Amino acid sequence: MTLLPIHTLIKPIRTAFNQCNQMILEAPTGAGKSTALPLAMLDWDEIDGKILMLEPRRVAARNVAQFIARQRGSALGDEVGYRVRGESKVSANTRLEIVTEGVLTRMIQRDPELTGIALVIFDEIHERHLTTDLGLALALEIQSSFREDLKLLAMSATLAGLPLAKLMPNAAMLSSEGRSFPVEQGYRAAPVQAKWLEHMAKVILEQLAIHSEGSLLAFLPGQGEIHKLHSMLAPRLAADKFSLCPLYGSLPAKAQDIAIAPAAKGIRKVVLATNVAESSLTIEGITQVVDSGYKRQASFNPKTGGTRLSLKRISQASAAQRSGRAGRLMAGFSTRLWSQEEQGRLNQADEPEVVHTDLISMVLDGAYWGVKALNELPLLTLPSPANENVAWQLLASLEMVDTKRAITAHGRAAYELGCQPRLAHMLLTAKELSKQDGNDNLAVLACIIAGTLEARGRSRKGADISHYFAETLASESAKQIRQWINTLKLNCSAGQGLAAVARSAASDDIAMLLAFAYPDRVAKMRGVSGYQLAGGTGVELPSEDALAGQPWLVIADFQETEGRSSGKVYLATPLNEQLFTEQLSGLVDTIEYGGWDDVKGRFFAENQRRIGQILLSKTPIKTLDKQLIKNAIVEQVKLKGLGLLKFDDRTEQLRFRVAIAAKFDTSHDWPALDDAALIASLDEWLSPYLDDVRNIGQLQKLDCYTLLQNIMPWATQQQLERLLPTKWLMATGTHAKIEYDAEHRGRLNVRLQEAFGMQESPKLANGKLVVTMELLSPARRPLALTADLASFWQGPYEHVKKEMKGRYPKHLWPDDPANTQPTKFTKKKTFNSQ
């Protein structure tokens, strides 16, 4: 440990912390920042309190804690311990605690002064996990408000693309060398990209044959690919020579330990891992890496409320981290399954989670902390505005925040349960109903459902969530379920009591509870295998699934996939429609709706019972209300477009002129009159003029020019006339028409003889727009199009004159048009008038 590169910085780090309380440390793979540094800090007298170190991944947190404990010669959980969600090894003697998965943020929320904590270390901050970004933001707030003595250390393998210095401008900056042996880098792109997994299996077998010593680490995007590759390799690798070890986040701890531990004597390990093995984790004996170059990224879709899983290329920084695994212990070999040319086109660094993931838990954290928007926190990267707005709206619908985004008592209770906000709402609601019934079984069932939904790793037994209850109770999730039962103070004996509740759970109760958590995912059958969610989006259930054909479902888990229009249902339960008149009546809205009947050619009005965008029933309203009719017209225009209004040429010209004015004149606030803007603002400019409109014919007679013109104040209308007139006064007294177009051009139409004597085209918009002149024949047929009259007179005019002189001999065709008096008459009339 004393030979690791970080040891050359131990003294500078110690000195720097005696001068300031913030530090940024860049230390590449193998430097020892995650192990040797916190190990040394345990002996620093000036650190008067506990050290917290945040590790983004559970497997790394456990592994690092175990390693440092061994180095100290103490039992895990004594001087050195760890705390991850649902599992902890700490005691009153613990001085170094490795934490992860939002544990730090909850520690801060419970104790904003972090009593007894002297130093917080943020390891692998370059991975940009949501919980890491939030934890750093809250720690900075604490340091600036309550705890100026609190020391903060942000550590990263690379600072490329990481705005840490901007967020922490007064921090000491230190950089360490990495410790890695030479890694021979190769590129083996798949001949057929669609078969990259088969290609990977082939490359792994080749590399194991070429290099007869050392173990191999293969990076794959997800658990599914790991199992597929495992099945390809297992028959072709002798069990007495090779050990195939999967490694991913939801794998049980014992299986993770097997993947990380040294191989048995005479055995070479082949570790099939996700990106959990990228950093802060040394897998014993690895000398070879084969990298697929892929990761699986979950991106939240704010329009549907679902998450889309997509296969994406990793970044250059991630590729470097992966290759470096081969050189941690000795010289190694790395093979990338893409071309060297593609390597140069990869993104420099990974995109932070805060810009593409579901933010509901982070927003509840923010509300609990007291902010009304996440940008009030000192975040490394601002979140997606669309994703954040959806999160606030959902919290409001679950009554966790009020209209001013202040957290409610219900929201506080939900946060303190420590689970996903939707599930927390379900648990608390179930507890209230159980209290009314005098029986806690419903609330216990809610705990079992929540545990099933939060379980890591699940077998495949179809979409019916009840099929997984027994499996959940036999897994690690049972511990979390019992913890919720204790927190909620429910009456249920562990073991047999839980199993009995799960076995006897009524379908209606399961549906009701899931609807509390996912009111926007109540779903009605549509077509053969499709369902429409109350939120509006569509999902599909495999036709062979036991739930297929159920008229109503509550969807607990669905995912969108690139290239598919409908999400795929993973967990659901059948729903009895009768619940909408009983326990779930609160989900039903009754509204008055007016619409247009295309078949009958008239408007109609009806009372509709809806759950979100799903229509339950409707009854006609005999007396039509004016406002309903207006709403129906507006709805029709939104649906079918502005073509219903019959914009004439004058109206279209007004729209073109305003768009051009907005481009060239910033002195006025010009309205947006494009289709999207007008449809978005129909209630402002159209709806007030619909009082007497009863049918489409009357709608099309509206003076839309005046309606759009009235959007602008009088002064703005006058400015438009000055900047972009519709006519131009020629020297002959003719008011020549000017037409504008979508390309921000103006065209003046005039007979060629009336342009004699003009040296240049007119300029509009304070000289910023040169008008294109369409010069016409005496019969008003187009002859030429030019924005440069001087050049036209000197060149193209000669050709026009030769062709037109014989056809129109009575009209002037002078040799020097630029210096000829303009006229709108024939030669005879022109000369007589002179």
Reported as a single tens digit per residue, the pLDDT across 363-381 is: 999 999 999 999 999 999 9
Predicted confidence band of residue 88 (pLDDT cuts 50, 70, 90): confident
Taking the C-alpha atoms of residue 712 and residue 215, their distance in angstroms, rounded to an integer, is 73
Q: Could you tell me which of 282, 285, 291, 252 has the C-alpha nearest to residue 269? A: 285
Predicted confidence band of residue 278 (pLDDT cuts 50, 70, 90): confident
Q: Are 37 and 13 in contact (CB under 8 A)?
A: yes
Q: Are 322 and 338 in contact (CB under 8 A)?
A: no
CA 391 to chain centre: 12
Q: Where are the beta strands (DSSP E) in 534-640?
A: 538-540, 552-561, 567-574, 589-597, 602-611, 614-620
Provide the pLDDT for residue 1: 55
| Single-letter code of the amino acid located at 635 | E
Predicted confidence band of residue 623 (pLDDT cuts 50, 70, 90): confident
pLDDT tens digits for 53-62? Answer: 998 888 888 8
* Sequence ranges of the chain with CATH classification 3.40.50.300: 5-175, 183-354
Q: Could you tell me which of 456, 433, 453 has the C-alpha nearest to residue 443? A: 433
Taking the C-alpha atoms of residue 317 and residue 348, their distance in angstroms, rounded to an integer, is 6
Q: What is the mean pLDDT of residues 250-275?
A: 86
Provide the pLDDT for residue 493: 61
Q: What CATH code would you report for 183-354?
A: 3.40.50.300
Q: Could you tell me which of 618, 398, 413, 391 has the C-alpha nearest to residue 515? A: 398
Provide the pLDDT for residue 737: 94
Q: How many helices (H) and strands (E) does the chain have?
A: 30, 31
Q: Could you tell me which of 516, 520, 526, 537 has the C-alpha nearest to residue 579? A: 516
Taking the C-alpha atoms of residue 631 and residue 273, their distance in angstroms, rounded to an integer, is 56
For 478, the enclosing helix (H) or strand (E) is helix 477-487
pLDDT at 806 over 90: no
Q: Is 125 exposed, middle or buried (0-12, 13-18, 19+ CB in 10 A)?
A: buried
| Single-letter code of the amino acid located at 662 | A
CA 297 to chain centre: 10
Provide the pLDDT for residue 2: 60
Q: Is 548 left (phi over 0), alpha (psi -120 to 50) or beta?
A: beta
pLDDT tens digits for 89-129? Answer: 999 999 999 998 688 999 999 999 999 999 999 998 888 88
- DSSP lists the bridge partners of residue 295 as 312
Taking the C-alpha atoms of residue 660 and residue 680, their distance in angstroms, rounded to an integer, is 21
pLDDT at 249 over 70: yes
Alpha helix (H) ranges present in 51-175?
A: 58-72, 103-110, 130-145, 164-167
Predicted confidence band of residue 731 (pLDDT cuts 50, 70, 90): very high
Predicted confidence band of residue 584 (pLDDT cuts 50, 70, 90): very high
pLDDT at 494 over 80: no
Task: Give the position of tokens 């933001």.
Answer: 137
Most confident residue range from 149-153, 193-197, 580-584: 149-153
Provide the pLDDT for residue 772: 94
| Single-letter code of the amino acid located at 712 | M
Q: Are 531 and 547 in contact (CB under 8 A)?
A: no
| Single-letter code of the amino acid located at 676 | A
pLDDT at 599 over 80: no
pTM for the model stands at 0.75
Q: What is the mean pLDDT of residues 273-299?
A: 85
Q: Are 7 and 32 in contact (CB under 8 A)?
A: yes
CA dihedral 323, 325, 326, 330 (to 10 degrees): 140
Lowest average pLDDT, out of 4-18, 216-230, 272-286, goes to 272-286
Predicted confidence band of residue 496 (pLDDT cuts 50, 70, 90): low
Q: What is the mean pLDDT of residues 184-208?
A: 93
Q: What CATH code would you report for 5-175?
A: 3.40.50.300
Provide the pLDDT for residue 310: 85
pLDDT tens digits for 656-707? Answer: 999 999 999 988 899 999 999 999 999 999 999 998 887 778 888 899 999 9
Q: Could you tell me which of 675, 691, 696, 679 has the C-alpha nearest to residue 598? A: 696
- Give the tokens for residue 563: 């290239």
Predicted confidence band of residue 44 (pLDDT cuts 50, 70, 90): very high
Provide the pLDDT for residue 495: 53
Quote the mean pLDDT of the chain. Answer: 89
Provide the pLDDT for residue 179: 63
Percentage of the chain beyond pLDDT 90 is 62
CA dihedral 644, 650, 655, 656 (to 10 degrees): 130
Alpha helix (H) ranges present in 213-288?
A: 223-233, 253-260
Taking the C-alpha atoms of residue 659 and residue 218, their distance in angstroms, rounded to an integer, is 56
